[in-house]
Structure formats: C-alpha cells, structure tokens
Amino acid sequence: MAEPAQVKLQNGDDKPVIINQLSVGGARIQTTAPLKAGDSIELQFDHIEGQRQSVAARIVYSLKENPGYYFACGLCFLGLKPHETQWLASFIAAEQARRRTAAAEAAAQALEAGGSVHAAES
C-alpha cells in the first residue's frame, strides 16, 4: 500500500505522509517530518468513496530510514468507535480486493502477450 494522506499535529500543522501499512489497530506511515514518539496526531485520508476520514492516533515509534530522507512511523489508533472500525475494515477489504483484481488483470495481459506472470510483476 502507498496511500497519500496527511497528519494533523498537536500544534495544528498538517504534514503530508504516505500510508505504507494499515490495519484496524494502527498504521505505518512514511514522512519527511521528524515526528516524535508519544505524540498524539490525527491521521487524515480519503476513503474509497472519496470522503475524507480522520482517526486519532499516537505515534508509537519514529525512525529515520537509513539511508534516507524519510521517517518511518508506527501509529496506534485511539478510541475508535464501532462504526469507525467498520469503515476502516471496509476500506482495507476494498483496497485488498482492488489490488488482487489489478494483479490478476496484469497477469492475464502478460499471458495474452506471450509473456509470463513474473514479467507482469516486475
């Protein structure tokens, strides 16, 4: 997964991030901002229907990727209500289905073109 999003910091600033992994309990993000472990933030991203969604989170870790310009941060979601857990689970399931469909279509196109399935994955 590489979903663009943003975080709202405690001081009100918004910072762009990429969501690398997502579950109903938390996320792994990548950012150029040096976020601090222990801080509370709000993760904002577009849901499948294009609706903006927000979840409160605490930064569990923030590590500068080596070598690199980015920080990898682990988030733990805070206080999700049942309906928020449901839409998050729906978003994850739909994203997984979309990716499976795209991979199957790429494999089928590679086979039709006389290539191999592995060529479509490269």
Q: Please state, in angstroms and rounded to a whole number, the distance separating the CA atoms of residues 2 and 89.
A: 17
pLDDT band at 122 (very low <50, low <70, confident <90, very high): very low
Mean predicted confidence (pLDDT) in 22-44? 93
pTM value is 0.76
68, pLDDT greater than 60: yes
* Residue 44 backbone class (left: φ over 0; alpha: ψ -120 to 50; beta: rest): beta
Q: Of 23, 25, 28, nearest to 5 (Cα)?
A: 28
Instruction: Transcribe 73-87 into DSSP letters.
Output: EEEEE-S--HHHHHH
pLDDT at 58: 97
11, pLDDT greater than 90: yes
pLDDT at 43: 94
| 30-39, 88-97, 102-111: the lowest-pLDDT one | 102-111
Question: CA 83: distance to chain centroid?
Answer: 19
pLDDT tens digits, 70-99: 899 999 999 999 988 988 888 888 888 887
